[in-house]
Amino acid sequence: MSHPLHEIAHISHAELLTPKAQESLRFFVDVLGMEVEAREGQSAFLRGWGDYQRYSLKLTESDTSGLAHLALRTWSPEALQRRVAAVEAAGLGIGWSEGDLGHGPAYRCTDPDGHVFELLYEVERYTPPEALRPALKNQPQRYVGRGAAIKRLDHVNVLAADVRPSRVFAQEQLGYRLHERIELDDGTESGAWLSASIAAHELIYTADAYGVRGRLHHLAFWVDTREECLRAADLFLDNDVPIEAAPSKHAIAQGFFLYGLEPGGNRIEVTTGGYFVFDPEHEPVVWSEAERRKGQAWGVQTVESFHTYGTPPARAPG
């Protein structure tokens, strides 16, 4: 294994754009059950009850939807320096920013597909106000139980016009491990599931049906049980959140899912489960077109939009 390993600790936060700031905020607070930790300018900083940092979602008003940037926390200051050097060497660096609410200096770069990443190490740990102080001291925040009560941001699925170079970038420049991928009959790589930890996936690249660059497929938020995914579906239903895919189990990564669209148009997943990869030599699982045709784990065929829709919206090539 010549790739760097154990350099990225986890996704620190995602910045999501929405053209419907108030409705989106209501969704993340009332339906997903997140807390507003801070507001600044056109942004609200939101957290799940299990986030050890101050926030994992920065929701920013914009004239469109999509992912503004994805911030990754490294395992150490040294790892940060090494990753910065690697992305600069790859010609994908943008430069340092002074930091943002809740974290220190961050180095901006893009993946080959054009998604903006931030690499950072220094973050502020969350200190709950009295009303959110938990009973158990090993828990960052009280469990309020509002809405779907998501625990934290779990993984991010971005779209790429060409999956392979971005997947290789994630492995070689960032140090992600590749756990599963899809290879079409013509040799095209149409999806790649990567992780920086034992979790089966933390960063996913799938093919953009329109060949557009830099788009988002979905942000996935974690709940601890499948029952909470089912419960979230009831909440989506009764809160008029469009359900794109009802709860079921993925074949790839075996995660349990529920997909819906937040008011700004971004696809949101409530997820749990999946398997752990303990094997240091884990050989990536490769799925063929024929195997993918069987649908999800229990045979569910995802709707067409799941394979074409992303944010910001794109048009089919004319």
Each residue 126-155 as x (binds a copy of itself by CB under 8 A) or -, in order, gives --------xxxxxx--xxxxxxx-------
Interacting residue with a copy of itself among 228, 267, 270, 271 (CB under 8 A): 228
Integer Cα distance of 237 and 150 in angstroms: 17
Please say which residue, 81 or 197, places its beta carbon nearer to a copy of itself.
197
DSSP 126: P
Residue type, 191: G
Distance set, CA 219 to CA 55, 215, 267 (Å) = 14, 12, 7
CA distance 274 to 289: 22
Site string for a copy of itself, 288-317 (x = CB under 8 A): ---x----xxxxx-----------------
- Pick the closer one to a copy of itself by CB: 10 or 83: 10
Q: Select 273 or 312, whichever has its Cβ closest to a copy of itself.
A: 273
Between vectors from CA 313 to CA 310 and to CA 315, what angle results, nearest 5°? 110
* Residue 52 binds a copy of itself (CB under 8 A): yes
Could you say which residues in the range 8-37 bind a copy of itself, by CB under 8 A?
A: 9-10
Per-residue x/- mask for a copy of itself, residues 169 to 198, rule CB under 8 A? -----------x----------------xx
Q: Determine, following the binding rule CB under 8 A, whether residue 226 of this chain makes contact with a copy of itself.
A: yes
Sign of CA pseudo-dihedral 196, 198, 201, 205:
positive
**C-alpha triplet 262, 27, 48: angle, nearest 5°:** 110
Closer Cβ to a copy of itself, 117 or 236, answer by number: 236
Calpha distance 4→80 (Å, rounded): 12
273 lines the binding site for a copy of itself (CB under 8 A): yes
Q: By CB under 8 A, tell whether 1 contacts a copy of itself.
A: yes
**Residues with Cβ < 8 Å from 316, sequence gap 6 or more?**
209, 210, 308
Among the listed ranges 57-65, 71-79, 106-114, 308-316, the one in contact with a copy of itself (CB under 8 A) is 71-79
E strand or H helix that includes residue 119: strand 116-120
Question: CB of residue 23 vs a copy of itself: minimum separation in angstroms?
Answer: 16
Nearest 5°: phi and psi at 109? Answer: -155, 180
The binder of a copy of itself chosen from 42, 85, 275, 313 (CB under 8 A)? 275
Q: Which stretch binds a copy of itself (CB under 8 A): 60-68, 81-89, 158-166, 250-258?
A: 250-258
Site for a copy of itself contains 225 (CB under 8 A): yes
* Rounded distance between C-alpha atoms, residue 178 and residue 25, angstroms: 34
**In the chain, how long is the greatest CA-to-CA distance?**
58
Phi, psi angles (nearest 5°) of residue 297: -50, -45
Name the residue nearer to a copy of itself (CB basis): 96 or 143: 143
Nearest to 270 by CA among 180, 157, 159, 153: 153
5 is an interface residue for a copy of itself by CB under 8 A = yes
Query: How many amino acids of this chain bind a copy of itself (CB under 8 A)?
Result: 68
What does the binding site for a copy of itself look like in residue numbers (CB under 8 A)?
1, 5-6, 9-10, 50, 52-53, 73-76, 125, 134-139, 142-148, 180, 197-199, 224-228, 230-231, 233-238, 240, 243, 246-249, 251-254, 273, 275-276, 278-280, 282, 285, 287, 291, 296-300
